[in-house]
Amino acid sequence: MDSKKAKESMIIMTELVLPNDTNIFGNLMGGRLMYWMDIAAALSAQKHSNAPVVTASVDNISFENPIRLGNVVHIEAFVSRAFNTSMEVHLNVWGEDVLHQYKYKSNEAYYTFVALDPNGKPRVVPQLVPQTEEEKKLHEGALRRRQVRLILGGKMKPDDAAELKALFTKS
């Protein structure tokens, strides 16, 4: 199976915050944003794997800045690392006040997807080759983030998380 570049999985999604997307303060609801992020990230994982995918986990998301009614939401997603059947997707989200030409960071997140075969079973995905410095940094960190997810999900023993443990034992 050929390996693929991170940029080949890039998805850019643009949405407009309408009244039905907001909370009582006139800001975009977190749940609506996470829904859009899930779609953008799933499309990115599908592009990388050329297979249908399901969301396996979502890392904690902090909302740095609210996105106002009438502002534009920009979501950028690409695969930061492919494992065996799973892929980590990195997302960056910005809000934009188009009238005042002001763009601001809203949040950043990692979603993990598993590619499925026609029987609904996990299937192997192509490896990902990072190219830029940012991609290489994300690619390296993905190993540790995966270990945290699997430990919290009860699917890995902390003792088996070599890269994570090394963080705390470095001299």
Binding site for ligand COA (CB under 6 A): 54-57, 83-86, 112, 114, 122, 149-150, 153, 155
Which H or E element spans position 166?
Answer: helix 162-169
Of 57 and 92, the one with the shorter C-beta distance to ligand COA is 57
Comparing CB distances to ligand COA, the nearer of 27 and 112 is 112
Q: How far is the CB of 133 from ligand COA (least distance, A)?
A: 25
Please list, in sequence order, all residues whose beta carbon lies within 8 angstroms of the beta carbon of residue 156, skipping any fewer than 6 positions away. Answer: 147, 150
Nearest Cα residue to 100 out of 71, 121, 80 = 71
Q: Are 53 and 114 in contact (CB under 8 A)?
A: yes
Rounded-to-integer distance, Cα 12 and Cα 94, Å: 11
Least distance to ligand COA, CB of residue 92, Å: 20
Question: Least CB distance from residue 54 to ligand COA, whole Å?
Answer: 4
- Of 74 and 144, the one with the shorter C-beta distance to ligand COA is 144
**Is 13 or 150 the residue whose CB approaches ligand COA more closely?**
150
CB of 62 to ligand COA, least distance (A): 19
Going from the C-alpha of 1 to that of each of 4, 7, 18, 136, the distances in angstroms are: 10, 18, 43, 21
